[in-house]
Amino acid sequence: MAFNNKPKKPTNLSTSQSMKTMKTMKTMNLRRRTSLAFILLFTALLALLLLLLHYQHRGATSAACGTCRVSTTAALSWRSGDLRHAEFAWNRLPFTDNYQSPPLRIAVFSRKWPVNGSPGGMERHALTLYTALARRRGHQIHVFTSPPSIETDQADQPGSPQIHFHEGLPGQWRYNLAWKQFQEENKKLAFDVIHSESVALPHWLARDLPNLAVSWHGIALESLQSTIYQDLARRPNEPISTTFNASLYGVVPKVLKEIRFFKNYANHVAISDSCGEMLRDVYQIPSKRVHVILNGVNEAEFEDTTKVLGMEFRLAHKVPLNASLVMGVAGRLVKDKGHPLLYQSFTSLLTKHPDVYLIVAGSGPWEQRYREMGERVVVLGSLHPSELKGFYNAIDVFVNPTLRPQGLDLTLMEAMMCGKPVLASRFPSIKGSVVVSDEFGFMFSPNVESLLEALLLVVGEGKERLQRMGKACAEYARSMFTAQKMALAYERLFLCIKDETFCHYS
């Protein structure tokens, strides 16, 4: 028997180990990719499921009411009953302002309170609502909020909300400090009602307050829709945003978290009809605890009877009085407000209609791009609230290209109050509560092609037709979006929370 006694070649250990390491890394990478794929699939399926649940109800509602786009028919036919069962906007009910209700002591939790400059939509809403409740309706309002960015005279004016700024850095909300202030004030004399602007008051504190109502200015399910719309608006050669996946991963768990803790709030105010549906159908809040009250704007600040003011505004900003058409857009000039869409579509519009003007009121990353478009685009920067009336009266049609379906944009209501038709994204919140008729304006899908088509349609309508639409807008806005209508609806809800006798409507 022969044996091979030749010595074996030495093994290259480093090469062998490297190969094993590479195989291990490949396996781990494959597992990571597989896990990532499953996560993406799960996220997408969950997102689609939530959207399906919502729109399945919307489809059923649409089928039940034929061609109606809002609960108008239900509101008109509703003569009496428990207000807590009303699934339409309370703004549609004719609450009288001749009746002096019992004065209420109301505590308000709001992250910020406007003291100067150009406040955001939620801050303007809060200022309008609580000022109306205090001055017009005689209720005692205590607002607990974060410190202002500038020093302000905290002396309370007679008939105005009493503002309690907690200690700390300007603009940084500390709910625990505000809660402590509330407790001290509540010991002096108990509040009848407590109102939280979104999650200013956390749910673990709210769950023990049966006399609390929370107004939602945007919920996570709407944020999920916004994330989807923003990615769909990408151009074919534009890479996916580095924040898209992170945003998508973060918002789905947030939806689930909200569904679980929203029940801790006793009463929910949805600021759009579509948000009310989401709270009832997806978030599983009992209908009796969900109330729809649309935002309102100060009717004294926005009106359509100031043609001279509009002419003066045009002259001041070098916009010809005889321009064939003047469009306007207002707000933060950021991506999620749809400015990439408007920038591209209006650029294309100018190649066909070079005599059309666009007035841009706002500031942000897209401001410089608008400035580079030429003399047909007039960029004003941020406007003080007192300047907005002149802006709205200077334009022929207002454009809102937002990619955010959250909440309900006050600029749409302000423009309509000033008698201007609107061009807006086709979102459930907008078409269900604002542009409820073709007489009020135009809608488009949130993409460049659809917006350009809508812009061309607006140009083709002509000024006379747009003016007639504007009159219809003003009439509808005065019946739905005034500060008085909003205040009376909130007042009735707060009275209902304190005393169930006021829940009955006749």
Chain segment 419-464, per-residue pLDDT in tens: 999 999 999 999 999 999 999 999 999 999 999 999 999 999 999 9
Nearest 5°: CA angle at 304, between 95 and 294? 35
> Residue 467: what residue type?
Q
pLDDT level of residue 63 (50, 70, 90 thresholds): very low
Rounded Cα distance between 476 and 434, Å, is 9
Rounded Cα distance between 144 and 183, Å, is 11
Query: Domain tally for the chain?
Result: 2
Residue for token pair 């955001």: 120
Domain for residue 31, yes or no?
Answer: no
Domain for residue 115, yes or no?
Answer: yes
CB atoms inside a 10 Å sphere around CB 139: 23
With both helix axes pointing from N to C terminus, report the angle between 220-232 and 13-65 in degrees, rounded to the nearest 10: 110
92 and 127, same structural domain? Answer: yes
% residues pLDDT > 90 (the chain): 66
Rounded Cα distance between 104 and 60, Å, is 40
Contact 74, 88 (CB under 8 A): yes
* pLDDT at position 353 over 90: yes
497 and 476, same structural domain? Answer: no
pLDDT level of residue 19 (50, 70, 90 thresholds): low
**DSSP 3-state of 71:** coil
Q: Which of 325, 482, 316, 297 is nearest to 399 (CA)?
A: 325
499 and 443, same structural domain? Answer: no
Judging by beta carbons within 10 Å of its beta carbon (0-12, 13-18, 19+), is residue 289 exposed, middle or buried?
Answer: middle
Q: Of the segments 185-189, 226-230, 298-302, which one has the largest average pLDDT value? A: 185-189
pLDDT tens digits along 192-240: 999 999 999 999 999 999 999 999 998 988 888 888 888 888 778 888 8
Domain for residue 183, yes or no?
Answer: yes
Could you tell me which residues come within 8 angstroms of residue 235 by beta carbon, excluding any fewer than 6 positions away?
A: none
Domain for residue 328, yes or no?
Answer: yes
Rounded Cα distance between 73 and 237, Å, is 46
Domain for residue 151, yes or no?
Answer: yes
Domain for residue 48, yes or no?
Answer: no
pLDDT level of residue 133 (50, 70, 90 thresholds): very high
Rounded Cα distance between 301 and 284, Å, is 38
% residues pLDDT > 70 (the chain): 82
423 and 501, same structural domain? Answer: no
Domain for residue 53, yes or no?
Answer: no
Contact 406, 218 (CB under 8 A): yes
169 and 287, same structural domain? Answer: yes
103 and 121, same structural domain? Answer: yes
CATH code assigned at 335:
3.40.50.2000
Rounded Cα distance between 93 and 240, Å, is 46
263 and 375, same structural domain? Answer: no
DSSP result, 364-417: STTHHHHHTT-TTEEEEE---GGGHHHHHHH-SEEEE--S--SS--HHHHHHHH
339 and 204, same structural domain? Answer: no
**What is the layout of strands, in order, in the sheet containing 140-145?**
162-165, 140-145, 105-109, 193-197, 212-216, 267-270, 290-292
Could you tell me which residues come within 8 angstroms of residue 200 by beta carbon, excluding any fewer than 6 positions away?
A: 109, 110, 111, 173, 175, 178
User: 208: which 2 tokens?
Assistant: 């023990």
> Residue 245: what residue type?
N
User: 236: which 2 tokens?
Assistant: 């074919």
With both helix axes pointing from N to C terminus, report the angle between 448-461 and 463-480 in degrees, rounded to the nearest 10: 110
190 and 333, same structural domain? Answer: no
- Which has more pLDDT, 162 or 384? 162
412 and 361, same structural domain? Answer: yes
* pLDDT at position 401 over 50: yes
Domain for residue 456, yes or no?
Answer: yes
Q: Residue 220: which domain range?
A: 72-296+484-505
Contact 272, 218 (CB under 8 A): no
Judging by beta carbons within 10 Å of its beta carbon (0-12, 13-18, 19+), is residue 11 exposed, middle or buried?
Answer: exposed
Residue 137 φ/ψ, nearest 5 degrees: -110, -5
289 and 312, same structural domain? Answer: no
363 and 328, same structural domain? Answer: yes
Parallel/antiparallel/unpaired status of strands 81-82 and 504-505: antiparallel
Rounded Cα distance between 355 and 322, Å, is 10
DSSP result, 133-153: IIIIT--EEEEEEPPPSS---
User: 321: which 2 tokens?
Assistant: 């009085």
